[in-house]
Chains A and B, each alone.
Chain A
Amino acid sequence: MTALTVSHVTKTHRRGAEVVEALRDVSISLEAGIFAAITGPSGSGKSTLLNVVAGFDRIDSGQIRVGDLDMSAAREADLDRLRSGHIGFVFQLFNLIPGLTALENVELALVPAGVGPGDRRLRAKEALERLGLEAEGGRRPAELSGGQQQRVALARALVGRPKLLLADEPTASLDRVNADAALADFRRLAAEEGLAILVSTHDSHCLAAADRVITLEDGKIAE
């Protein structure tokens, strides 16, 4: 089953007077249960591709379909619903909210889906337990190691039971041991839970672990 279809997508950015073509006629599709890695030099458009797929930014032309939704034509409210239920996103710098505990950070992802407080807490605890963080739920992000923060961010991305998991340089801020553990998680999630996973990376270990590698150069697919 196709989890993601990107068709002839173009995206430009303005940097002052300069117009940068971040994505040029990019087309990819991703099946459920596949762990795919996008690689390429800095500025090649990896993060931009993840951002437009996640609905963080709009494309100039082309089409992106996640599940049944045509994101290019969707309203903001539809994109909000998509992000809260269908897509999970892991940031390079984890992006946990410093004022909330690990458990609350995970719980927060269930708020927009309208999950009640009791269920929310239960599911957030389960998500942390699955990643071996049951003892860290009451800690604030600043009290956690980089690897633990990354797992909390992963728990937050997965707690809404998404069909598509996106991760931007998920191993870049981790040491080798934690990076390998994160990659093992991705492989398990794709193989056992049928998630479609798309990560941007420079990490050779990540590229080796992926089922499929997509290379971007100057905003174009070079595979």
Chain B
Amino acid sequence: MMWFRLSWRNVWANGRRSALVLGTVLLAGLSLMLFAGYVKATKIGLEYSTIRGGIGHLQISGKGGFDGYSDEPLAFGLTPDQVDAIGTAADRQPNVRRIVPRLQFSGLVSNGARTLSFAGTGVDPIVENAAFGARQRITGGEPLRSASPSDGVLLGAELARRLGVRAGGSVTVMTTTVSGAINAMDMVVVGLVSTGVPQTELYFLQAKLDTVKELLATDKVSTVAVLLDDGADAETAARRFEAEVPGLETRNWRRLSPTYDQVVGLYTTLFTIFAGFIVVVTTFSVATTVLTSVLERTREIGIMRSLGISPASVRRAFLLEGLILCGAGLLLAAVAALLVGQAINAADLTAPPPPGRSVGYPFRIFWDGPAVLAIALIVTILTAAAAWFVSGRVSRLRIVNALGAF
């Protein structure tokens, strides 16, 4: 307690210098905590937008459906029996929220004057909208609903622009059946969709599942997307589906969308580099202050040593001084990070669109407790190490010199 009192008073006795160190630690801690909060918000946002954007927590197809190749269309598709079995298995899993069957197809879409290629999906509007509808941005017309006409189709905004069609217009959709014959259907454009990614908007086409089955002359679907409760483990659910329904193959959302891991990896690297620089600068700042304190208080060190206080104990007093400043700075930084984060979130800012996208995303900063603790721990350890290192002069001081006798 006595050492704490002495260190505490020394902190106050050199107010300006202490304020400088406190400010350095505060700013360093604040910037690191905000950055960590931004990375966390990005991870959560990216995970949410990936899963809710249509991929789901996992997808199911027939064996070989994700990596296999076959000349036969829908060779890895799921039969109606398999889809039913998946539905039964899903009912037995309490954390499965929805299963969403889909039929992928491709072909040409034409307005008569222009013909463009598309990559389309046949969906059940009820389950599709319930699972992923909230994320769909309709820029014209309306979403595909169960009440929509059976020949209704949603087009990507860019595809529609290039075709020169609007909601309410009609297009001809051409594709090949599973047996290889060409099939076509005149369809009504019920709405236009912006995916936020210009490249996918150019090929986006969505129609009712039964219509697409008819167009492709099949009763199969390509995949079933599975939406789980938030926080549920996709891999565990996948293993259970594979165990309960033979002939299935599953893939979780992170494997289906490697972008997530790439972005998280990039941000983590940036954070590590940024944190490294900040921590080094902070450590040097605290070390310089402690060293100045040691030099200024050489006589005091001599007095303590003359009383029989060991060099290690004297050094502990300087260490404590550094830790008081560091602890106070980090505490203030944590409070400031919480307040600044809340203020930024309340301001509802939008970040500019990232490369390859046409729509910005909400700029959010979340409170990342483990990261804040880790930052505090690392800064504290390095500060303590720096203070201990520079106070090493205490051990080398001869008492008679420290007292100023010679």
Q: How far is the CA of A153 from the CA of B256 in the complex (A)?
A: 77
How many chain B residues touch A (Cβ–Cβ < 8 Å)? 26
Interface residues of B in 354-406 (CB under 8 A from A): 398-400, 403, 405-406
- Cα-based distance from A80 to B306 in the complex (angstroms): 8
Indicate whether A135 reaches chain B with its CB closer than 8 angstroms: no
Question: Are B308 and A85 within 8 A (Cβ)?
Answer: yes
Q: Looking across the interface, which residue of chain B has its beta carbon closest to that of A79?
A: B308
Expressed in whole angstroms, the Cα–Cα distance for A95 and B399 within the complex equals: 13
Given contacts A51-B405, A99-B9, A100-B9, contact A108 B1 (CB under 8 A): no
B46 at the interface (CB under 8 A from A): no
Given known A80-B309, A111-B2, A112-B308, contact A95–B303 (CB-CB < 8 A): yes
> Measured between C-beta atoms, what is the minimum distance from B299 to chain A in Å?
7
Please encode chain A, from 99 to 122, with 1 for each CB lying within 8 Å of some chain B CB and 0 for all others.
110001001110111000100000
Most buried by A among B2, B10, B308, B309: B308
Taking the complex as formed, is B272 at the interface, i.e. its CB lies under 8 A from any CB of chain A? no
B106-147 CB contacts (< 8 Å) to partner A: none
The interface bits of chain B over 10-24 (1 if a CB of A lies within 8 angstroms of the residue's CB, else 0) are 100100000000000
If A51-B400, A95-B403 touch, does A112 touch B313 (CB 8 Å cutoff)?
Answer: yes
Contact assessment for A83 and B10 in the assembled complex, using a CB-CB cutoff below 8 Å: no
A99 and B6 CA atoms in complex are apart in Å by 6
The dominant DSSP class at the B interface is helix
B300 at interface by CB-CB < 8 Å = yes
Roughly how many angstroms separate A51 CA and B309 CA in the complex, as a whole number?
A: 16
Are B5 and A57 touching (Cβ within 8 A)?
no
- A: number of interface residues (CB 8 Å): 33
- A83 B307 Cβ-Cβ under 8 A: yes
Which of B2, B10, B300, B398 is packed against the most chain A CB atoms within 10 Å?
B2
Q: Is B163 an interface residue (CB 8 A)?
A: no
Question: Contacts A95-B403, A97-B303, A99-B6 given: A84-B398 contact, CB under 8 Å?
Answer: no
Is B405 within 8 A of A108, CB to CB?
no
Taking A47-B405, A107-B2, A117-B1 as contacts, is the C-beta distance between A57 and B306 under 8 angstroms? no
Is A13 at the interface (CB under 8 A from chain B)?
yes
- Which residues from chain A contact B302 at a C-beta distance below 8 Å? 95
- How distant is the Cα of A82 from the Cα of B307 in the complex, in angstroms? 9
Does any Cβ of A come within 8 Å of B75's Cβ?
Answer: no
A99→B317 CA distance, assembly (Å) = 13
Contact check: which of A76, A104, A109 meets B307 at CB < 8 Å? A109
Q: Is the CB of B6 within 8 A of A84?
A: no
- For residues 296 through 324 of chain B, which have their beta carbon under 8 Å from a beta carbon of chain A? 299-300, 302-311, 313
Known: A95-B403, A104-B2, A112-B308. 8 other contacts (CB 8 A): A47-B405, A76-B311, A83-B308, A99-B6, A99-B13, A109-B307, A109-B308, A113-B308
